[in-house]
Amino acid sequence: MRAGKRLWIIAAIAVGLFVAAAPAFAADPTGATLGKDAAEHTAIGLNMLWLVLGAILVIFMQAGFALVETGFCRAKHAAHVVMTNFAIFGLGLIGYFALGYAFMFGATSVPSIGFLKPLGTMLGFGSHGGVIAHTGFFLGGGAYDVGVLGFFLYQVAFMDTTATIPTGSMAERWKFKSFVIWGLFCGALYYPLYGAWVWGGGWLSQLGAGSLKLGHGVVDFAGSGVVHAMGGVAALAGAMILGPRIGKFAKDGTPRAMPGHHIPMAMLGTLILLFGWFGFNAASTFAATDLRFAVVAVNTAIAGAFGATVAMFWVWKRVGKPDPSMAANGMLAGLVAITAPCAFVQPWAAAVIGSIAAVAVVESVWFVERKLKIDDPVGAISVHGVCGLFGVLAVGIFSDGAYGDGLNGVAGGVRGALYGDWGQLGAQAVAVLVLCTAMFGLAWTFFKITDKVVGLRSDADDELEGLDRPEMGVLAYPEFVPGELVAATNGGSHRTVVMVD
């Protein structure tokens, strides 16, 4: 009865928020008013199509994450791991739809995107004091607009990427109930807060326009920081509080190998992520008429290729074998690192960025496991956290000034330290500091509270058996019996117990 009453109270509050947020639908829900003439209307339509197709590609990346994480985990947890990657889309979207988008981009009025010109108003710094926005809850009111809804679809796909990253570092022992709470929290508050500061016209984006004059303020073209590092620091906080999997470390702290059950699955997932990343980066121009997307796409491919290849050779040199899992993480590391600077750097810089990220991810995976004694089954902390932070700094190092005139209200293209603007590197360093302190602290606090209230970790017996049956009620591979395999011999009088991963 008490649970039912709480649900009714929550529903009533939700309905009240929706009514309050949507007094009228005064925007343009059909797009009929966009463009002064047929030619401009067609151009706007082309840009809208570009944005929606980009969103579709990014949403498809969820399949890549699901395959990568499931393949890198053990068979007895496969249904649980893939379910977290599946469920996060719905959970995160609901949180972002209800609250997150309004906090990140809501302004006193939300005009049509026709196309980039009205973004200056919609993302205006003055509209929410530089910290958090306040209108458009449940996409009500002026958000009922073709431009805003297209932009929402693109942004919600990015948010789900952030939300899914901790499912890798916390895999094989994360209680599903507490995971559900994370999905809602990430979409509603965690991702939108930092996103509002950088992409919503907030205080970090304004560091170049104020008295500090730090370049163009914090610049993050497609989300090395806003998306990946945000997920990476949350993955670190969650894994630290959750603790390692049972049996991961010996009594003397030596890590034990717990190999993933399906490397081909993980490699296929990596290729799917590469495919979707072109929507992630290139479509972040928001307009097909912005031909810089060609540079973005090429830089993305270069960084991914160098990341995979350098990681393969680096680990080959270090351990004597070209480890496929490290090569896959090397490709992802290059892609993560190029995501912020992809529009502002030359192809040679993309190659350097991908190569540095490749070495960094290999060394970071070993450092996190061997020195910090943190158990991260898929390397999410290193791929998204370490390489995401590097990508943020890369903007302030390698940007050549050819693109970004007027970005965040600052004239001229974005230039890094190699091209004379150390202020831009300073702004990017501030972003890294905020990510490693404020946002890590917020994630840590959330996971700590969740652990105290509902429990973060699955029961030890369930973990040993495999989370598929006790938490999901199904087995990913029914022909395998997780936990213990009992073989009857001598007429059933003898039991042989074999632990199965």
From the number of C-beta atoms within 10 Å of its C-beta (0-12, 13-18, 19+), residue 27 rates as buried
* pLDDT of residue 18 exceeding 50: no
What is the distance between the alpha carbons of residues 303 and 485, in angstroms, rounded to a whole number?
46
Average pLDDT over residues 175-196: 96
- The answer, yes or no, to whether residue 485 has pLDDT greater than 70, is no
Under 8 Å between Cβ of 57 and 276: yes
Q: Is the pLDDT of residue 386 over 60?
A: yes
Distance CA 302, CA 462 (A): 43
Tell me how far apart the alpha carbons of residues 239 and 252 are, in angstroms, rounded to a whole number.
Answer: 20
Q: For all residues of the chain together, what is the average pLDDT? A: 87
Comparing 220 with 210, which gets the higher pLDDT?
Answer: 220
The encoded tokens of residue 311 equal: 């990681």
289-309, pLDDT tens digit by residue? 999 999 999 999 999 999 999
| Confidence check: pLDDT of 495 > 90 | no
- Average pLDDT of the segment spanning 361-381: 97
Three-state DSSP string of 185-231: HHHHHHHHHHHHHHCCCCCCCCCCCCCCCCECECCCCCCHHHHHHHH
Least confident of 30-34, 115-119, 364-368, 421-425: 115-119
Average pLDDT on 160-167 reads 98
Q: What is the pTM of this model?
A: 0.89
Give the percent of the chain with pLDDT over 70.
Answer: 85
Range in 350-354, 474-478, 485-489 with the lowest mean pLDDT: 485-489
Token pair 């991914």 is at which residue?
Answer: 304
Task: Determine the pLDDT at residue 107.
Answer: 63
Q: What angle do CA 51, 89, 142 make, to 5 degrees?
A: 50
pLDDT at residue 263 is higher than 70: yes
Report pLDDT for 106.
80
Give the whole-angstrom CA distance, residue 233 versus residue 283: 25
- Which pLDDT value is given to residue 144? 85
| DSSP tag of 170 | T
According to the model, what pLDDT value does residue 434 have? 97
Rounded to a whole number, what is the distance in angstroms from the first to the last CA of the chain? 41
Write the pLDDT tens digit of every residue in 438-457: 999 999 999 999 999 999 99
Residue 118 has pLDDT above 90, yes or no: no
Residue 330 to residues 270, 271, 414, 486, Cα–Cα distance (Å): 10, 12, 27, 41
pLDDT of 17 = 38
**Which are the contacts of 44, defined by CB distance < 8 A and separation ≥ 6?**
31, 34, 35, 114, 115
Q: What is the pLDDT at residue 29?
A: 82
The pLDDT score that the predictor gives to residue 493 is 41
Task: Determine the pLDDT at residue 201.
Answer: 84
Return the ∠ at Cα 209 (arms to 208 and 213), rounded to 5°. 45
In the predicted structure, residue 13 carries a pLDDT above the cut 90: no
pLDDT above 80 (res 5): no
What is the mean pLDDT of the segment spanning 350-377?
98
Q: Classify residue 479 by burial, with Cβ atoms within 10 Å: 0-12, 13-18, 19+.
A: exposed
CATH number assigned to the domain covering 2-458: 1.10.3430.10
86-102 pLDDT, tens digit per residue, is 999 999 999 999 999 99
What pLDDT is stored for residue 481 in this prediction? 57
What DSSP string describes 114-129? SSSTTHHHHT-GGGTT
Q: Where are the domains of the chain?
A: 2-458, 462-498
Tell me the average pLDDT across 178-194.
97
